[in-house]
């Protein structure tokens, strides 16, 4: 929709809005691909012509700022005075009115199955688990059905979300990949229950048997083509989900090959539908690690005659106060250009606290900058 004013003809407006309403506005705008400032502008325009709106509970409202067309704030304040309500109440009513008139779109299953996003870098400590988990949460928050796969033998993802590893003598993803499991892989899925995910987010937990996966893939007679093992294991659940998001191991072995092959562009897909995100830090060792990962991607692509799209860098735990090392390294990541830097995630405490409390980031700190960064990535891939 084209706005009836020039984007530059705006002024910043600061008010307060209940946290639940701020969050719902942010998510709904992302779902519909609408800029928040346009949503608020549209809501306020509708509010001006709508009478007898119910009061919104604005107690405990937090700071909220946006940009409105020049002069609109004064007009709305005059209308609020005429209606004997505060500007914060008028704004809250307008946001609620916009939400009520813009319901979330219902998604139908993709005929080609789930889109596949993997988060990989053989360097540890760069935030693969945090970003894979956060993006999966954001995608589910936006209305998508998402399966989050703990494919790292260390199982940090499973533990960080408050679950326990699958017993080593019971079925697991690794055993399904090797043809050694009984039962259905869908039986291993655990729902991550929270209102904002609405029953749309599931975890395929880790198991310590994944430490042996590389060696077994190299020798198992059950795996004819090693690179396809992960795809064959997850194929039965693909039609259940819009996205399958995988937290990859910090390695360059067969296990990583299976993840890269799984994220390839399939014959019936548009390029960029699936692929790999590469979490990195703003320092030199991440650059060295990327060079090795890039070689692995290119070698596998050439050997298998496939296309694996690098969807972008996620520069994690960034703090410009670290000086030249951080700022110059960030500049170098941006200068690569292809893949692009998708988002820079600040080094703040919310993610660490969420891990400590074994809560999803978007549940523990939904208004944090880190949560917004996860939504930025999600919005990019869900568009």
Structure tokens at 201: 């987010």
Distance CA 282, CA 165 (A): 32
Quick one: 278 and 149 in the same domain?
yes
User: What is the distance between the terminal CA atoms of the chain, rounded to a whole angstrom?
Assistant: 16
Whether 157 shows a pLDDT value over 60: the answer reads yes
Which parts of 253-339 are beta strand (E)? 275-280, 310-318
Residue 129 lies in a domain: yes
At residue 1, the pLDDT reads 37
Over pLDDT 90: what percentage of the chain? 55
Q: What's the order of all strands across the beta sheet hosting 146-150?
A: 190-191, 201-204, 146-150, 243-247, 115-119, 275-280, 310-318, 341-346
What integer is the mean pLDDT of 120-138? 91
Tell me the sheet residues that pair with 115: 243
Sorted by sequence, the CB contacts under 8 Å of residue 164 that are 6+ apart come out as 158, 205
At residue 108, the pLDDT reads 54
Residue 238 lies in a domain: yes
Distance CA 199, CA 195 (A): 8
Distance CA 263, CA 274 (A): 6
What integer is the mean pLDDT of 334-351? 89
Quick one: 75 and 129 in the same domain?
no
Whether 3 shows a pLDDT value over 50: the answer reads no
At residue 69, the pLDDT reads 93
Which parts of 170-303 are beta strand (E)? 190-191, 201-204, 243-247, 275-280
What integer is the mean pLDDT of 184-213? 89
Quick one: 90 and 130 in the same domain?
no
Residue 246 lies in a domain: yes
HSE-CB for 189 with a 13 A CA cutoff:
22
Over pLDDT 70: what percentage of the chain? 94
- Domain containing 57: what range? 10-101
Whether 374 shows a pLDDT value over 90: the answer reads yes
State the alpha helices, DSSP H only, in 170-283. 173-178, 213-219, 229-234, 254-262
Quick one: 339 and 197 in the same domain?
yes
Quick one: 125 and 96 in the same domain?
no
Contact between residue 174 and residue 209 where contact means Cβ atoms under 8 Å apart? yes
How confident is residue 2, by pLDDT bands cut at 50, 70 and 90? Answer: very low
Quick one: 84 and 124 in the same domain?
no
Nearest CA to 237 out of 190, 189, 194 is that of 189
Whether 214 shows a pLDDT value over 90: the answer reads no
Quick one: 182 and 299 in the same domain?
yes
How confident is residue 49, by pLDDT bands cut at 50, 70 and 90? Answer: very high
Quick one: 148 and 35 in the same domain?
no
Q: Tell me what the pLDDT averaged over the chain comes to.
A: 88
Quick one: 154 and 93 in the same domain?
no
Distance CA 192, CA 146 (A): 10
Angle subtended at Cα 316 by Cα 313 and Cα 322, rounded to the nearest 5 degrees: 120
Boundary residue ending a domain (78, 101, 124): 101
Residue 260 lies in a domain: yes
Per-residue pLDDT reduced to its tens digit, 269-315: 888 899 999 999 888 777 778 888 999 999 999 999 999 999 999 99
Residue 182 lies in a domain: yes
Residue 285 lies in a domain: yes
What integer is the mean pLDDT of 37-56? 94
Domain count, the chain: 2
Whether 243 shows a pLDDT value over 90: the answer reads yes
Residue 63 lies in a domain: yes
Q: Identify the residue whose tokens are 């992960």.
A: 230
Quick one: 226 and 326 in the same domain?
yes
At residue 226, the pLDDT reads 79
How confident is residue 111, by pLDDT bands cut at 50, 70 and 90? Answer: low
Boundary residue ending a domain (43, 68, 101): 101
Contact between residue 129 and residue 160 where contact means Cβ atoms under 8 Å apart? yes
Quick one: 237 and 139 in the same domain?
yes
Length in residues, the chain = 383
How confident is residue 221, by pLDDT bands cut at 50, 70 and 90? Answer: low
91-127 exposure pattern, b = at least 16 Cβ within 10 A, e = fewer: bbbbbbbbbeebeeeeeeebeebbbbbbbbbbbeebb
The angle that helices 36-48 and 19-32 make with each other, rounded to 10 degrees, is 110
At residue 112, the pLDDT reads 60
Task: Give the H or E element holding residue 15.
Answer: strand 10-17
Distance CA 317, CA 134 (A): 14
Q: Identify the residue whose tokens are 């070698």.
A: 299
Whether 4 shows a pLDDT value over 50: the answer reads no
Distance CA 296, CA 308 (A): 11
Boundary residue ending a domain (101, 131, 156): 101
**CATH number, residue 211:** 3.40.50.300
Distance CA 281, CA 291 (A): 14
At residue 222, the pLDDT reads 57
Residue 107 lies in a domain: no
Torsion (CA) 268, 377, 296, 204 in degrees, nearest 10: -80
Quick one: 179 and 259 in the same domain?
yes
């Amino acid at each position: 929709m084209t706005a009836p004013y020039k984007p530059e003809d705006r002024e910043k407006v600061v008010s307060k809005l209940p946290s639940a309403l701020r969050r719902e506005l942010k998510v709904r705008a992302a779902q519909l691909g609408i800029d928040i400032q346009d949503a608020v502008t549209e809501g306020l325009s509708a509010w001006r012509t709508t009478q007898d709106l119910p009061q919104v509970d604005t107690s405990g409202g937090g700071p909220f700022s946006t940009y409105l067309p020049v002069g609109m704030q004064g007009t709305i304040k005059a209308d609020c005075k005429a209606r004997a309500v505060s500007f914060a109440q008028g704004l809250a009513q307008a946001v609620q009115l916009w939400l009520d008139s813009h319901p979330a779109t219902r998604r139908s299953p993709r005929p080609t199955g789930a889109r596949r996003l993997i988060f990989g870098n053989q360097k540890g400590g760069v935030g693969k688990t945090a970003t894979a988990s956060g993006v999966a949460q954001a995608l589910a928050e936006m209305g998508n059905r998402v399966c989050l796969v703990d494919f790292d033998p260390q199982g940090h993802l499973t533990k960080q979300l408050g679950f326990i590893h699958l017993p080593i003598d019971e079925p697991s993803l690794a055993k399904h990949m090797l043809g050694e499991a009984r039962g259905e892989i869908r039986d291993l899925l655990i729902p991550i229950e929270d209102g904002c995910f609405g029953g749309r987010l599931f975890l395929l937990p880790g198991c310590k048997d994944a430490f042996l996966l590389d060696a077994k893939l190299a020798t198992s007679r059950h795996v004819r083509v090693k690179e396809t093992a992960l795809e064959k294991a997850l194929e039965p659940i693909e039609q259940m989900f819009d996205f399958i998001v995988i937290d990859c191991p910090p390695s360059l072995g067969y296990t990583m090959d299976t993840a890269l092959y799984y994220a390839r562009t399939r014959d019936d897909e548009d390029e960029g539908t699936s692929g790999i995100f590469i979490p990195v830090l703003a320092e030199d060792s991440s650059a060295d690690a990327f060079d090795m990962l890039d070689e692995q991607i290119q070698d596998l692509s050439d050997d298998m005659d496939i296309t694996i799209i690098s969807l972008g860098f996620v520069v994690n735990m960034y703090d410009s106060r670290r000086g030249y090392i951080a700022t110059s390294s960030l500049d170098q990541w941006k200068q690569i250009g292809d893949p692009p830097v998708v988002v820079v995630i600040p080094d703040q405490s919310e993610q660490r606290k969420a891990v400590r409390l074994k809560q999803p980031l978007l549940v523990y700190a939904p208004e944090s900058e880190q949560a917004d960064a996860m939504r930025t990535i999600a919005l990019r891939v869900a568009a």
